[in-house]
A and B are shown apart, each in its own frame.
Chain A
């Protein structure tokens, strides 16, 4: 069945450094790739997404890149801050399709 693998499961960085989280998906028909951030005790919320007709998208300190040939996509956070500490989930779906498949999550710690 469809699967999304996410690495690493835990990531610790120093404040100001960059953080990269990588995901690989199995269903080549997937064309929508969102990233969700879940702060401690809170609900997951969308932070950025990318569609398959775009290779890269940026929003201030966060960016996502997509390689459709290799079926992987990555989240890049630059100039990390303590408030970036959270669990990040990648996901893949087919727009208008049946369901979204989530990765297992990455717990990011940003040390001040």
Chain B
């Protein structure tokens, strides 16, 4: 689904570095989400935003922060990356019907 894009697609970094993952969408949805995927743990919610002025923590927000720069842009930051943040990160958008439209994912490795 090219309407939701993520950059970078792959990133290798070192412990202690600051990392930003970016998400953009052209679907016109107000709701945006950041998920983390680990093997056997499914998709876990990090942060979600229902509009530019609304930011909410998900179930695993510790160590992460977000910024909703515009309706179409939602960024995830790791202020000081640690190895257990190595994972596949997905951005998603949804209309009020709750169907989630995912971006292609960012594979992050923290050494």
Contact = CB atoms under 8 A, between A and B. Distances in A.
B61 to A, nearest CB: 12
Interface string A83-100: 000000101010111111
Contact of B40 (A9, A44, A97): A9
Contact of B43 (A9, A96, A102): A102
Contact of A34 (B58, B90, B100): B100
Given A36-B100, A96-B98, A89 B43 contact: yes
Interface string B63-102: 0000000000000000000000000001000101111101
Q: A interface, how many residues as a size bin?
A: 20 to 34
Contacts of A100: 45, 94, 98, 100
Interface string A31-71: 01010100000111110010000000000000000000000
Contacts of B104: 42-43
Contacts of A49: 99
Residue in A42, A43, A97, A98 with the greatest tally of chain B CB atoms within 10 Å: A43
Contacts, number: 55
Contact of A95 (B40, B97, B102, B105): B97
B42 A43 contact: no
A102 B100 CA distance: 11
Contacts of B44: 102
A36 to B, nearest CB: 7
A44 B104 CA distance: 9
7 contacts: A32-B97, A43-B104, A45-B1, A89-B42, A96-B98, A103-B42, A104-B42
Contacts of B40: 9, 104-105
Nearest to B102: A43
B99 A34 contact: yes
A93 B48 CA distance: 14
A40 to B, nearest CB: 12
